[in-house]
Structure 1
């Protein structure tokens, strides 16, 4: 019986070895040949030897290490013929295996020693006790092995087909073709086949949805299951202003503004105005009976608002913050930009335990109001824990017991109450107050979930500041402030944070070095970032050097010209040395990390000594210092200039800074990619690039850019300039002009003029460019006529960078071949997900309600 637990991707290997072991072979070795053949066939030197004379044969018991090939190849029956000096023969059968698949090296198992020694007569091999033995096979089995592999492939195909028939009966493991048949069994209405994950989840949970039809819980679960977004649903009738009815329960007050339910707006808290018209709005409105469009038509008895958060929140760990010149302030972003900090988005995975989302549970930009939100309740457990610490008197403990079970809406209210207690001496906070803040903060406070309690808090927090020598700054020593100018004061606090712009200020000189961990927002996994990309990386066992620590550690000897070098953190590396003898260079960031590299001026990768060099850059952010990343291939030999070339250059999940502005209004120079040699193939995947240019002697045979953003801030410098060769654009967004000899574009959004020399070749399909462009064979494409409302943001560093805005033309939002949007985020199929969500919302909503899909991010 064949094993049934063999992985599907190993069926071919499994059946090949099973068939191979069923084929018998006979070998005849004359006396005196074993030692010679063993010496010829062994791959490595060893301390043992094989002797044909009577006596004990010795061989290092680690002979297993000398074998090559897979260690899990199945055994076969091997017939060995031994002939002694007198001509007598003895046969011994032993389990064995073919080491390299062609029969040139055979390994006898360790039990062969016992079997052979029992049947070989005296004279010649009377004491054969070698634990392992190599025997040369005189027959070439290459064609036979190939025939066995062909038979094994057909057996594997049949086996896989049989197994899949069983798996196709379960929706979690069924193939895509079987999903509609299972859907027909439960009678669900299928959504688009392009949304594979959403369609499968819909079929799997259809009965679950029907049992809970009409509840907010199942409608919010639809957002996660169908669209893979976060969201919050609000019944608009609850936001209508009305008079209080006598049968109504006592009206609650808004947590942020204090506004009474259904009553007049309390405008004393200006921060509450930022919540207006959103899912956490605490104000109440008059009915708006118009059709929903933008801010119009949002409030009515029949309206049900789906507030959608399409941006993803990505973590960054142990980043080196950038010191702002002339201050003691820092930016969380290592390049010095103003970048908003995001909440990590931590919804409960178990929908049976559903509760409506709090603001800090969604992937949203963190505001100062949210960072300051902390509520406190003193309990008996809190007092007892304080009593266990030295310094709390009995009178103080008694006073604290007097304020138990009282909810304090802010740290200031708690401090005022503590200062008013009889046992408190003086106007300053008592020594136990910091400990009291840490113990009494409520679990539903935003600050308790965004900031760490102390250095022992190992839970994943959204904002963490770590000082060397003092550890993590605890939350009771952090406060939110508007850091313009770079100054602030707060008694008892260590740092001030402005999360809207990602700024950090130490109230006292910090201990070096400083690292920060935070979350940033983006529509998808484009450019360098802390997201999952393990499948793209070279395995760790092939990495020659691992680098950590930042600083000047990327010296000429740190990066191998021929091998894999990996950076294992997200620190800043400055400077980065040139590489002048590139052969097969791979420089990658470890999974989940985004190192920031700052070359001195230019970063030159020179491959002059070879004509088939390769370079791979993965997961790196190369910052702007006014220089360029230059691909070059030249050297001088005895006064003669020699040229090399690149066979392939791959830039994957990287950011070559397109330029911008720092927090102190200084320019950040872009980092162009300059090709100064012959490159056979240049591949750019999931990256954010500055201008891509060629020199007079630079030549790229084929430039392929996929799922990437290319930007040029200078109108005089094209985003892509390729005088020769072919340019291929797939699902890209380009800010700037494009000059190319030959172009093949699909789902490309080019906000600039395109000038192609060879318009007889190539194509421009399902794409968009300026109306005055020269294009090859445009097909179902869009002409841009100067619209400025296409994107949420064109500034690198903003969460909405490269995202199509809600007011973008419908021809762009649904202009791709699959009716998705055109541009870098086409593969997210957001319009298709929205259609599926709308259809399912109408199916499971209460009767008579009207859904409103509102994009919050």
Structure 2
């Protein structure tokens, strides 16, 4: 949508004036009086242009000597001067950081914290080091000193755990555990062979956590909510991590980007400082005592006759505990909820709970106003009067930005635009020019007869780092929304929006709703967009979950160019006979790049017999029926039928056997498609949608051009970063240490 920005250094004008000033005044004067005036000035401007080129070249030579400003080609030369092992050329950001920090890393070689720093520099992943010898079981004897209890399960170092501690299952097998194990002499594989004297476990957290601010939660009834605006009840909440933590500090549980669990959300300590013993009546007897829950502090306060419980809970809250960090961190909590427009709820008013079965009728502790299931993204209010829930802050996780989301899109949207849409029910019956959605609320536009007319060049986009959810409304008892080009030269660009369907006159969602493109478009560009591929909503107890419609893009007119870039879509089909002719309506060219396409049942994901289709670095989870295709670095986990196979291309991709495919080049053809368990998830809304697992065939995980993985996360360079990190860990780790990389997310 926007072109690359270039610096304006005005070197041409500077040198033109400088050279012009060196010419004697008489010649400058005569140049203006000659029969063809300005000839000398034109020559000077030509010389100035060349001088500007040379000046920029000199500036680049100086800049290329500084790692922060050097061109990518110069980074390799700087690395050779330092004698460092260069990272893969595709991992350009990691290579630059590695070269820039080589000397500092050599000074810290062999330290545990350096391994975490390497993971951040090389791969931009959060990491936590676990030295295995600390967790080896030992039997005490009479001369032993008293070992301090662990911070999570209170297990003494090398001792036996207290099985009554609820968080044992929450941290076991991870880097934040304080349990003890017998030594294992087997090589590391899965969960085996992790604990022995030379073992160092480096836990890797690869997924990013993106902020959702002031999102509109889905209200099931007066007290039950799904934080996901579409109503899905399986969208996990992530913690944001701490980007300000210094690399010499050991990370705590709340410092890394990972899914939040109920037990971590409830883990808290209360300890009233002695200095605040006079802050309220009866507080003196509580000062200095430690309580592991708000209920324990309330009970002690009641026994001591203490008053002003909300103030006591706020004053006694220990900041360095998971619940305090997740709900009340001054730098920005991972979760922030409010009721009826009030101030954000304090940590003692929020409790983690497993809401696979709603807690209706369950007795909760006094003062708890909200129950949250962070693993499912569900919320239940304890007040039967049903105040309105507001989600001020929440975070979702994803391996790499794709589809609508709150990631950085500043270089993909216009620099300036009109004022954002002020109402959540804007009129979109006729669209021309620019329209901007300025926040992440839910919008229900009004259209005339479920039709949106596009005149001239129309652009609808979300503001940077926002994810508005736009529910399009079909006509009563209808199942389609029409986007119609008015006149010649119409074009439409959609960027950063999440489009869903609000069906009327049906039982919330027949499974299919069509977004029909009619008329004649010169170009349609979909960028960082999500067309809801369907699913099911959360449901109240005893009710059947309602279906979320699958939004299908239907070409019912003519489109010269259809460009789909970094999107999550449902199916794309042609409609025959929509223009009154026997020729199928289609697009002349369709380009799908860095996208995920999800099917509706057994229907084909792509049915484009009349278009020339190019698919690059995308994951298509279903059958494809195409006329002519050029497919590169992609996963087609379905039957591929290409009519013009002779003039089509299939390179570095995976397809299912049994179809009509072009001659493959460096491809993987699997009978029956990818084996089960190759993806973390194929359900929209899950953090692992489209993410390849270690059980996926290696030819797919590393078979794309350049040695990266096939599919939508090709540009995440997971396999390359993992290989680079392994090499750097081997370079800087102590000789006797056996460092094992363990992927947690």
Establish whether TM, by shorter chain, passes 0.5.
yes
Alignment of 1:792-803 (within 5 A): 792-803=680-691
Structure 1 match to 2:569: 689
CA distance in 1, matches of 2:42, 2:669: 56
Q: Name the CA shift for 1:144/1:443 in 2 (closer, same or farther; >3 Å).
A: farther
1:258, distance to aligned residue in structure 2 (A): 2.7
Q: Name the CA shift for 1:822/1:469 in 2 (closer, same or farther; >3 Å).
A: closer
> What is the aligned residue count?
699
1:192, distance to aligned residue in structure 2 (A): 1.4
1:783 maps to which of 645, 653, 669: 669
Q: Which has the higher contact order (CA 8 A, sep 6+)?
A: 2
Structure-1-length-normalised TM-score: 0.78
Structure 2 match to 1:632: 518
1:603, distance to aligned residue in structure 2 (A): 2.9
CA distance in 2, matches of 1:610, 1:646: 9
Q: Cα deviations across residues 173-212 of structure 1 (Å, max 9, x unaligned)?
A: 2222222332233222222122111112111112211211
CA distance in 2, matches of 1:264, 1:700: 67
Pairwise CA RMSD of aligned residues?
A: 2.6
Structure 2 match to 1:194: 90
Q: Name the CA shift for 1:184/1:798 in 2 (closer, same or farther; >3 Å).
A: same
Between stretches 239-248 and 747-756, larger displacement belongs to: 239-248
1:760, distance to aligned residue in structure 2 (A): 1.1
1:19, distance to aligned residue in structure 2 (A): 2.3
Q: Name the CA shift for 1:144/1:195 in 2 (closer, same or farther; >3 Å).
A: farther
1:446, distance to aligned residue in structure 2 (A): 1.1
- 2:471, 2:499 within 8 Å by CA — same for their partners in 1? yes
1:411, distance to aligned residue in structure 2 (A): 2.0
CA distance in 2, matches of 1:150, 1:775: 55
- 1:367, 1:499 within 8 Å by CA — same for their partners in 2? yes
1:22, distance to aligned residue in structure 2 (A): 6.5
Q: Cα deviations across residues 739-785 of structure 1 (Å, max 9, x unaligned)?
A: 11111111101111100001111211100010113221210001123
Structure 2 match to 1:536: 412
Structure 2 match to 1:84: none
Residue 370 (1) aligns with residue 264 (2): yes
Structure-2-length-normalised TM-score: 0.89
CA distance in 1, matches of 2:333, 2:591: 39
Q: Secondary structure at the match of 2:7?
A: helix
CA distance in 1, matches of 2:14, 2:105: 48
1:460, distance to aligned residue in structure 2 (A): 1.3
Structure 2 match to 1:411: 294
Alignment of 1:664-675 (within 5 A): 664=539, 665-675=545-555
Structure 1 match to 2:7: 9
1:549, distance to aligned residue in structure 2 (A): 4.3
2:321 maps to which of 433, 436, 445: 445
Residue 172 (1) aligns with residue 68 (2): yes
1:467, distance to aligned residue in structure 2 (A): 2.9
CA distance in 2, matches of 1:661, 1:617: 25
1:355, distance to aligned residue in structure 2 (A): 2.1
Structure 2 match to 1:620: 497
Structure 2 match to 1:496: 371
Gap regions ≥5 residues in structure 1: 1-6, 25-76, 82-90, 92-137, 387-391, 425-429, 634-644
- 2:170, 2:263 within 8 Å by CA — same for their partners in 1? no
CA distance in 2, matches of 1:244, 1:20: 86
Gap regions ≥5 residues in structure 2: 22-27, 475-479, 503-511, 540-544, 577-583
Structure 1 match to 2:421: 547
1:727, distance to aligned residue in structure 2 (A): 0.7
Q: Secondary structure at the match of 2:337?
A: strand
Q: Secondary structure at the match of 2:110?
A: coil
1:519, distance to aligned residue in structure 2 (A): 0.1
1:593 maps to which of 466, 470, 480: 466
Residue 330 (1) aligns with residue 216 (2): no
Which is greater in Rg? 1
Alignment of 1:654-665 (within 5 A): 654-664=529-539, 665=545
Between stretches 785-794 and 679-688, larger displacement belongs to: 785-794
Q: Name the CA shift for 1:446/1:576 in 2 (closer, same or farther; >3 Å).
A: farther
Alignment of 1:464-613 (within 5 A): 464-483=336-355, 484-487=357-360, 488-490=362-364, 491-508=366-383, 509-512=385-388, 514-540=390-416, 543-550=417-424, 553-556=425-428, 561-577=431-447, 578-601=451-474, 602-607=480-485, 609-613=486-490
1:148, distance to aligned residue in structure 2 (A): 7.0
Q: Secondary structure at the match of 1:803?
A: coil
Q: Name the CA shift for 1:478/1:681 in 2 (closer, same or farther; >3 Å).
A: same
Q: Name the CA shift for 1:277/1:513 in 2 (closer, same or farther; >3 Å).
A: closer
Q: Cα deviations across residues 681-719 of structure 1 (Å, max 9, x unaligned)?
A: 00011110010111114211110011110111311x111
Alignment of 1:138-537 (within 5 A): 151-244=47-140, 249-325=145-221, 328-338=223-233, 339-351=235-247, 354-384=248-278, 386=279, 392-393=280-281, 396=282, 400-421=283-304, 424=305, 430-452=306-328, 459-483=331-355, 484-487=357-360, 488-490=362-364, 491-508=366-383, 509-512=385-388, 514-537=390-413
- 1:237, 1:299 within 8 Å by CA — same for their partners in 2? yes
Structure 2 match to 1:678: 558
- 1:315, 1:519 within 8 Å by CA — same for their partners in 2? yes
In the TM superposition, structure 1's runs of 4+ consecutive aligned residues that sit over 4 Å from their partners are: 20-24, 77-81, 138-141, 143-153, 245-249
